[in-house]
Amino acid sequence: MFAVLKTGGKQYRVQAGDVLRVEKLAANAGDKVQFNEILMVGSTVGAPLVAGAGVQAEVIDQIKADKVITYVKRRRKHSSQRTRGHRQQLTLLRVTDVLEKGADKSGVKEAVGMRAAGPAVAAEAPAKAKKPAKAKAAKAAKADAAEPAAKKPARAKKAAAASDKA
pTM: 0.64
Q: Answer with the residue of higher pLDDT: 114 or 38.
A: 38
SS3 state of residue 130: coil
Radius of gyration of the chain (CA): 30
Task: With respect to residue 149, please indicate whether it lies within any of the assigned structural domains.
Answer: no
Looking at the domain assignment, is residue 150 inside a domain?
A: no
Instruction: Evaluate if residue 129 carries a pLDDT over 80.
Output: no
Q: Using CB atoms within 10 A of its CB, is residue 20 exposed (0-12), middle (13-18) or buried (19+)?
A: middle
Tally of domains within the chain: 1
Check if the beta carbon of residue 13 is closer than 8 Å to that of residue 42. no
Contacts of 24 (CB under 8 A, 6+ apart): 62, 89, 90, 91, 113, 114
- Between CA 111 and CA 14 the distance in angstroms is 15
Examine the pLDDT at 18 and tell me if it is beyond 60: yes
Q: What is the largest CA-CA distance in the chain?
A: 99
Flag whether 61 is in a domain. Answer: yes
Report the DSSP pairing between strands 54-64 and 32-35.
Answer: antiparallel
Range of the domain at 118: 2-74+82-124
Q: pLDDT digits over 25-35, tens only?
A: 999 999 999 99
DSSP state of 166: -
In a domain, 12, yes or no: yes
In a domain, 133, yes or no: no
The answer to the question of residue 155 being in a domain is no
69-111 pLDDT, tens digit per residue, is 999 988 887 778 899 999 999 999 999 999 998 888 888 888 8
In a domain, 162, yes or no: no
- Flag whether 27 is in a domain: yes
The pLDDT confidence band at residue 15, using thresholds 50, 70 and 90, is very high
Chain-wide mean pLDDT for the chain? Answer: 83
> What gap in Å lies between CA 53 and CA 165, rounded to an integer?
90
Select from 87, 131, 115 the least CA-distant residue to 26.
115
C-alpha span between 34 and 53 (Å, rounded): 10
Confidence of residue 165 (pLDDT cuts 50, 70, 90): low
